[in-house]
Amino acid sequence: MIVRIMGEGQIELDESALPELNKLDDALEATIERADDAAFRDALAALLESVREAGSPLPDDSLEPSDFILPPADAHIDDVRNMLGDSGLIPD
Cα angle 45, 29, 13 (rounded to 5 degrees) comes to: 55
Q: Which of 40, 39, 34 is nearest to 76 (CA)?
A: 40
Does the CA dihedral 21-38-84-60 come out positive or negative?
negative
pLDDT computed for residue 92 by the predictor? 67
The pLDDT tens digits of the residues spanning 72-83 come to 999 999 999 998
pLDDT computed for residue 80 by the predictor? 94
Per domain, the residue ranges of the chain are 2-83
Task: For residue 68, list its beta bridge partners.
Answer: 3
The pLDDT tens digits of the residues spanning 45-64 come to 999 999 999 999 999 888 88
